[in-house]
Structure formats: C-alpha cells, structure tokens
Structure 1
Amino acid sequence: MSTPFVFSNLPVELVRDILEHAALSDHATARNLTLVSSAVRHWTDPILYNTVVLSSARSLRAFLAAIANKPSDFVRTRVHNLGIFTVGPVQSIDRVLTACAGVRSLACGFSLPSYKQSQGVAALQSLAQPREQHLLGVACRDGWDASLVGPTVTHLRIHLTSFDSSRPDCPFAFSDGPGQDSGWARLKALPALTHLAVVYRPSGSTPPTTIIPHLARLFQSPTNEDGLPALELVLIQIVGARKDAAFFGGAVNALNDAAVSAGGPAHRIVAELAPQSAARQWEEAKRGGECLWDRAEAVVRSRLEKK
C-alpha cells in the first residue's frame, strides 16, 4: 500500500510556507529540498543562494558550474551574502564576483593584493550596492587597499598588523601601494562608511589603551573638514592565543574603560574579544545569528544614555 503524501490535503501556499521555513532553518535541508521537484526547487533556490560560502577551489568550481545553468538575473539578484575563503584560482574568484554583482555583504578571505595584481578592481568596484565588507586574515595581511572596497560600503572590518605609537599620523602598519593614502586617510575613499571594525592583537610592550586616542581621531570631524567619513562606531576585536586569555581579556576591559574615561567621541569605541573564526562569525550572522555590530551598538547606546 502506498503512503499518502503528507502535504496532499494542504493548500499549496501553506506547503510552500512550510518548506521555505525548513529551508531557512537548515542549509543542508535547503539543498535536499531542491531535489524534490522543480516546483520546490523554484521555492527554495532563492533561500539556498541567499548566503553563499566558498571555502575551497572545489566549491568555487561547483558554484560556477551551478550558476552556469541559471539566468544571470537570478544570480545577480539572489546572492545577497558572499563569503570567499579560498586562495583561488583568482580567475574563478573574479568570475564569481562579476556574476554576484548584487551582493550586499562580502567577506574576503583571499589575498586582495594578489587578486588586484591579476584581475584589477573592476569586479569589486562594479558591485551594485554593497553595504558590508570584511577583509579577513590573508585579505589584508600585507595591508589593505580602499580601491578593493565597494564605494557604497557602510560597514567594514579589517585586520590590523602592528601598532607604533611613535608615529601619530600613521600608527598602524599599512602597506602603501602607488598612489595610496597612508593610514586612515585612505578612508576618504569610502564616504558612506559608518561602522568600522578592526581585528587587533596588542603586544605586551605597548599598553593596549594607547590605541584609543588614535581611533578617537576618526570621530573628530563631524563636518568632514578632513574628508573622512562620519563614523558612528569603531569596534576593536582583540585577537590572541587561548593560553593568554587573561591578558587579552584584561586588554578588552582596559580599552573599554579608557574609551569611557576619554569621553566625547571615544564613547563610540567598543572593544571585545575576537571570535575564534571571523569567517564563521560572519557566516552564522548571515544565516540568522547575532550580527557582528549589534552588541557594540547596544554598548554605545548605553554609554550615551548615561552621559
């Protein structure tokens, strides 16, 4: 005796709601549902492609093969969050970026200097309306280039290298290419920027709070006389080894205390421990988890209410 279809007596609209909810709840379920029928695939494909994570050359090839059979409008309008965490091939990365021109949040875990040297900046500058960009790990290990950040980006996360308090105009070790502004001056190329997150490892030789005055300078031009964007939040994510957790936890507390003590614009500087994986944090947020910025924004609101 055949088993009746469990949804056979339900309205199509309700069946669609159930299957879309299941697809939203679990990525593996979303993939499996695309195999049920063409109708179900039509419902769940937009959910499956909403957040795309490519962590190997194999996944890059598989994604390019999958979208080759889809209308270009589908890929351009349905991929909202794109994470690329593989070193290459850079030609494949460029093809993905070109196809996903409507992406809103982009996480880059590949060498951007190498990508720029090989492919240029056209694909990244042609993204329609990116709101958020994360330059993680190797993406800015050798410095970061504002031309590789979308001009409409409002939320940016970068990894910083060393800090030198003896260089007040450029205390962070940014690698400068031809025609590149030094230090924070390169933020002038990002007029829409409101939220900046820096992943930073303090050293034992320099007090972690030394960074606060240099970051506070980013807020001291509300009328943009110096051309910098009008920031609302700077989030410092302190990264360090687990065995030194006490030191880095103390650094977080010291930074937050220093920001409150400095007052004024420094109230908008918030420190926290970095996640074990910035890439995983980004992906979990895009799949419905806590947003990177939410907790820090709540801290700023609390501080300002107490002023």
Structure 2
Amino acid sequence: MSVEESSSPYLPLDILQEIFEYTARVDRQVALNLVQVSSWAREWIDPILYQVVSLRRESTIRNFLRTIETTKSERFFLDLRVTHLTIFFVPTSQIPTHCHPSCHSPERLGTAVSNLRPTHLSVLFPTILHGFYPQLNLPFYSRLTHLSIINDSTDWTAWMGFHSLSNLTHLALDVRAEPQPIDPEKAARICSTVAFILGHCSSLRVCVLLLLFTPDPHQTRDAIARWQDAEDRRLIFLRDTEPFRDRNAREERVIWDKAERAMARQRSGSSSVVIDI
C-alpha cells in the first residue's frame, strides 16, 4: 500500500512537516526520494529543493527544463522561491547553458529565467572570446543584492553596466593571479574597473576580489592596490585556497561572511588584510 493510500499519519502533520523539511535541508538525495512517494512531502520539500538551483551540465539543463514544464513548478518560479541561482557555461554542450534572458535557445529556459528576479546570483558567463557581454541593465538583474562573478578579470574588466545594479550591496569578482607577479597592465585594469564600480554603485557595501592560483596573495594585493588613488575600505581581498572546487550557495555565504569580518577589521583601523576561504 502506498503512502497516498494509507490512512492518516501516526504523527501530526506539523511534526511530519518539520521532520521532512529538516531532512530536505541535510540530505538532498533522501528528499528527492521522499517527493516520489508522498504528496505531503512534495508540498513541503519542493520549496527547499528549488530554493537553490545549480545549472552545470547538459543533463541538469534537461532535467530543469522538464521540471519547469509542470504547472506547479511554474508557480514556484513566479513566486520567486528560487533565491540562489548558479549558472555555468559549457561551450561543448548541445544545449546552451548560458541561462540568460536574452538567449533564444532553448526558449522555454530563457522564458522561465526571464521571469525570475533573484537577489543572490553566482554566475560564470561566456567569456568575451565568445563575443558575450552581459547586459546588466536587464530586469533579470534588477533586484540583485549579492552578485558573485566567476569569470576572470580579463572578462569583467571589459564589461559595462555595473552602475545599473542599484540594489547591489555585495559583489565578488574572481582574479586569477597567475603567473606571479601579476602583470602590471592587468593590475591597472582591475584597479580602474573596481574604482568605477565603487564610485558608481551607490548601495555597494562590500566589493571582494577573490584571488585564485596565487602563492603570494599579499604581493598580488599590493600590485593591485598600487594603482589606487585612495584606499576604500569596502574593497576586500580574499584568497580561495581550493580554486578547483565548485562554488555553490553555501560557498557564497562563506565568502560574504569572511568579507564582512575583513571589512570590520579594516574599519577598526587595521591595514588591508587578505583572508583565506
């Protein structure tokens, strides 16, 4: 006899809901199994499962497309239940994974995402080598408060439109610092772009430069800071000690937490610091 055919549960529904929601948060695979056998579980667990969406592989894109075709799932997106969206571009994929409002293929994915207004976004855009420049003034980005860009500085120093992110309070930008020492021209471009962002993003509280592949993060920090006209304590340097790991919503929270701590230290009078994550 299935769960649906059984009589009322032995535990009160509110207790069951607590148990199922806790399970969904600590073990995603068990949660996926639960939603297959119980409509109660699906109703309680779906909002948790869809809160964090990571689009990394072609198979993930196919599953995502299949899921959003259902009426119930469409309501989740319209209700803005997706709060963390991680997007990876896979140039070899037959299905474009640059999930972006301006993309035309696949149309259903573009339409679904264009209805979203995320507040937290971690994104790896196609590089400028693919001729891609994000249009940051699109409605999709209008409610962003936390933005983590995984592209290297070669890309984001060539982009325009950061000033249109009027609600942005936290920004993280990847900097691949190899080879050592960092090229002076690259350091100058980074500093110029960051200075523009700090000067034109009115709500910005924290701007993180996340250093990757650098054996001497302090040397890299100094090489970039050398081009600053004036010190801005909103600028934080972090070093990723495991640059090959995937970045997900949990990792992003670590970045913001570390950045806030570093900024507090700098505001208390400490000189610019570099903190490992």
TM-score higher than 0.5: yes
Q: Given that residues 233 and 297 in structure 1 are in contact (C-alpha distance below 8 angstroms), is that contact kept between their aligned partners in structure 2?
A: yes
Whole-angstrom CA distance in 1 between matches of 2:261 and 2:229: 17
Verify: 1:276 aligned to 2:243, yes or no: yes
Q: Match for 1:152: what amino acid?
A: R
Whole-angstrom CA distance in 2 between matches of 1:111 and 1:18: 34
Whole-angstrom CA distance in 2 between matches of 1:140 and 1:27: 35
Q: What is the TM-score when the length of structure 2 is the normalising length?
A: 0.70
The corresponding residue for 2:212 is: 239
Which of 116, 141, 152 is matched with 2:143 structurally? 152
The corresponding residue for 2:85 is: 82
The corresponding residue for 2:258 is: 295
Q: Given that residues 89 and 125 in structure 2 are in contact (C-alpha distance below 8 angstroms), is that contact kept between their aligned partners in structure 1?
A: no
Q: Given that residues 125 and 151 in structure 1 are in contact (C-alpha distance below 8 angstroms), is that contact kept between their aligned partners in structure 2?
A: no
Unmatched 5+ stretches in structure 2: 1-5, 271-277
Q: Given that residues 23 and 29 in structure 1 are in contact (C-alpha distance below 8 angstroms), is that contact kept between their aligned partners in structure 2?
A: yes
Q: Given that residues 51 and 79 in structure 1 are in contact (C-alpha distance below 8 angstroms), is that contact kept between their aligned partners in structure 2?
A: yes
Aligned residues: 251
Verify: 1:138 aligned to 2:126, yes or no: yes
Whole-angstrom CA distance in 2 between matches of 1:61 and 1:214: 40
Deviation at 1:299, TM superposition (A): 0.2
The corresponding residue for 2:275 is: none
Whole-angstrom CA distance in 1 between matches of 2:210 and 2:172: 7
Distance 1:230 1:14, change over 3 A: closer
Q: Match for 2:183: what amino acid?
A: T
Distance 1:45 1:212, change over 3 A: closer
Q: Deviations over 1:53-82 (max 9, x none)?
A: 233222222222233233231343233333
Verify: 1:23 aligned to 2:12, yes or no: no
Distance 1:300 1:140, change over 3 A: farther
Distance 1:298 1:123, change over 3 A: farther
Deviation at 1:23, TM superposition (A): 1.2
Distance 1:173 1:117, change over 3 A: farther
Q: Match for 2:47: what amino acid?
A: P
Verify: 1:218 aligned to 2:166, yes or no: no
Identity within the alignment, %:
23
**Within-5 A mapping of 1:1-307:** 9-71=10-72, 72-77=74-79, 78-85=81-88, 87=90, 110=98, 116=103, 123=111, 126-136=114-124, 138=126, 142=130, 144-147=133-136, 150-158=141-149, 159-162=151-154, 174=158, 186-202=161-177, 203=179, 204=181, 206=183, 213-214=191-192, 217-218=195-196, 221=199, 228-240=201-213, 248-252=214-218, 254-255=220-221, 265-274=231-240, 275-277=242-244, 280-285=246-251, 290-306=253-269
Q: Given that residues 83 and 119 in structure 2 are in contact (C-alpha distance below 8 angstroms), is that contact kept between their aligned partners in structure 1?
A: no
Structure 2 counterpart SS, 1:191: coil
Q: Given that residues 195 and 232 in structure 1 are in contact (C-alpha distance below 8 angstroms), is that contact kept between their aligned partners in structure 2?
A: yes
Q: Given that residues 135 and 161 in structure 2 are in contact (C-alpha distance below 8 angstroms), is that contact kept between their aligned partners in structure 1?
A: yes
Q: Match for 1:21: what amino acid?
A: Y
Structure 2 counterpart SS, 1:30: helix
Deviation at 1:271, TM superposition (A): 1.6
Deviation at 1:304, TM superposition (A): 0.3
Q: Given that residues 112 and 140 in structure 1 are in contact (C-alpha distance below 8 angstroms), is that contact kept between their aligned partners in structure 2?
A: no
The corresponding residue for 1:177 is: none
Q: Match for 1:146: what amino acid?
A: Q
Q: Match for 1:155: what amino acid?
A: H
Distance 1:67 1:130, change over 3 A: closer
Distance 1:161 1:28, change over 3 A: same
Please tell me the root mean square deviation across aligned C-alpha atoms, in Å.
Answer: 4.1
Structure 1 counterpart SS, 2:141: coil
Whole-angstrom CA distance in 1 between matches of 2:206 and 2:268: 16
